[in-house]
A and B are shown apart, each in its own frame.
Chain A
Amino acid sequence: MNAQFKKGVLELCVLAQLAKGDKYGYELTETISEEMSVASGTLYLLLRRLKDENYFETYLVETAGGPARKYYKLTEKGMSYTQELKSGWLEFVGQVDRLIQ
């Protein structure tokens, strides 16, 4: 798949997962890699960039005995951006679908 295209889709997947509820980085990489083959490292770079755009905030949660976890939480802006991406994607998939049927 075209690398740039894959990146855009990955962005949508990450945001859509966070739209379902706050997640910490490791959990997010696990969920994504259950479905697609992607180097988890690139996800952290992606998260950093999306945070730069103020699509989400982060907060730390201490766990008893274990390492602290940085949770990602979508902002209002992130929510509406996710919706926008999602409808763009669904429209695109619909078009492709009609063409290949």
Chain B
Amino acid sequence: MNQKEYLRALEEALSGIDPKDKEELMADFKEHFDIGLSEGQTEEAIIAHLGSVKDLVESLDLKRLESPQAYESKTDRIYSEDVEKVIIDGLHADVTINVSDDNQAHVDYEISKKLLGKLSAEVTSRQEGKTLYVTVSSINKIFKSSLDPVDLHLELPNSLKELNCKTASGDIKIDELNFQTLEVHSISGDIGLDDIDADLILINGVSSDVVCSKISGQLQLRSVSGDIEVDAHTGKVLSIESVSGDIDYEGSATDIRINTTSGDACLEARSIKNLSANTISGDVHVDLSLAHKGLTVSFISNSGELSIGDEDYDTPRHNQSIIVGDGSIKLNLKSISGDFEIE
């Protein structure tokens, strides 16, 4: 075989791939021949060194090369009316979950694949009894960087006993569903819940921003650096822990517990009966529509200040009790340097 034959065979073998990629590869091989020849090599020696066209083509995933969009899309569909519990391990996948119109569970996913190279992520699902497991994992990867992007979409029956969804970097979005227990965990993926009804909602994020809108049930949120925004919450109990993330809450909770290190908290909670707020340097602002309401405030701080309505209180040396009106709402406020503002 000579240069001409080799290049012709190569061009033929690459006929299915994107024309631009083919053109570039052909130019690379031509250049290789030109330089090899100019350095005194024979065409045969150069070809022996390059490897046979057949071996080259086999080292590629030709099916993928031939698809002009250069991505791989797979769909998996699971039907069952018996799913009561769903456990998702989404890794880097973006996960969206909403209600199915036939009361069965469906799993769809799409893996986007770059040209040339083996698929590096897979999605598997299995059912054990009434529990459905959906798992995203990495394959064919020695080094776990740059996994192929995955979109995971679930449609679930309107009412489930439990949903547990976790990801590492993937975003999670859950809309219009009812649960007994909903648990959502992510490291860096953003978390969005909209129109959710559950007895208990647990959300854990590290650097994830969390946005919840129109949700009802007991709510427990934890975040390290991600911001937390809760809007139109209906439910009695609220607990939020944050290190540096800011907290913005609006809802009907009566019992509220807030813990923050440097994050600021802004609460609009007009049904509040009990508030326990601990902060190091974060400021806490509470709007409980003060007029016609009575407070019993326990306040302790190193250098933080307290204001209730128009009244300002100095930093207390010891635990300070302040009673306003009938004292019916209990506020327990602790800080190092964080300020409290009640109105």
Contact = CB atoms under 8 A, between A and B. Distances in A.
B146 A53 contact: yes
A39 B51 contact: yes
A84 B60 CA distance: 25
A69 B140 contact: no
Nearest to B38: A66
Of the candidates A9, A45, A81, the one having the most CB atoms from chain B within 10 angstroms of its own CB is A45
B28 A48 contact: yes
Contacts of A88: 142-143, 145
A4 B59 CA distance: 10
Interface in B35-50: 35-36, 38, 49-50
A30 to B, nearest CB: 9
A70 B31 CA distance: 8
B322 interface: no
Contacts of A85: 143, 145
A50 to B, nearest CB: 9
B49 A40 contact: yes
Contacts of B50: 39-41
A70 B24 CA distance: 11
Contacts, number: 87
B156 to A, nearest CB: 36
A42 B55 CA distance: 9
B51 A48 contact: no
A17 interface: no
Chain A contact patch, size range? 20 to 34
Contacts of B38: 66-67
B116 A48 contact: yes
26 contacts: A8-B141, A25-B28, A26-B35, A29-B32, A39-B52, A39-B56, A41-B29, A42-B51, A42-B56, A42-B59, A44-B28, A45-B25, A45-B60, A48-B25, A49-B115, A49-B116, A52-B114, A52-B115, A53-B146, A66-B34, A67-B34, A70-B28, A81-B145, A84-B143, A88-B143, A89-B143
Given A40-B32, A49-B115, A66-B35, 16 more contacts: A8-B142, A8-B143, A26-B31, A29-B32, A39-B56, A40-B50, A41-B51, A41-B53, A45-B25, A45-B116, A53-B146, A66-B38, A69-B35, A81-B145, A84-B145, A85-B143
7 tightest Cβ-Cβ pairs between the two chains A and B: A39-B51, A67-B34, A49-B116, A8-B142, A41-B50, A26-B35, A41-B51
